[in-house]
Amino acid sequence: MILADGQGCMVQCDGCGAVGEAVETRNPRTGSLTAAFLPKGWKFDVLDGEHIHRCGECFAAAVEPFADRRAAFEARLDHLGAGLTVDIAASLGVPIGLGWRWAGEWKSRQFGEAGGMQ
């Protein structure tokens, strides 16, 4: 995830939480961020419509982004139910698109139904 759209743009690995400094460029006319170039070796991905950033180590190891938070996510689903998926995802900093997917998989395990929450 991009931590700050400021002077120094920090980027956090969505796999292990490592933080690196992104090299950013701005549109000289509007001053808006045109592109953030990840630290050397980092990779950008789009997962369920969310922008995912991974450090070189996680990318090489094919670590699933946010995998470290999945257990906590499912524990909260057990307590709160899938109706609070949005709140659970927000509280854990997990992209909502991924949250829906996890909730769908969790649900299909709970009830033996096909997930498919759109």
Give the separation between CA 62 and CA 84, rounded to whole angstroms. 29
CB of 13 to Zn ion, least distance (A): 3
CB of 44 to Zn ion, least distance (A): 13
Residue with Cβ nearer Zn ion (10 or 117): 10
Amino acid occupying residue 25:
T
Is 16 a binder of Zn ion (CB under 5 A)? yes
Order of strands across the sheet that contains 19-26: 9-12, 19-26, 33-37
Is 47 a binder of Zn ion (CB under 5 A)? no
Give the separation between CA 1 and CA 25, rounded to whole angstroms. 17
* Interface with Zn ion (CB under 5 A): 13, 15-16, 18, 55, 58
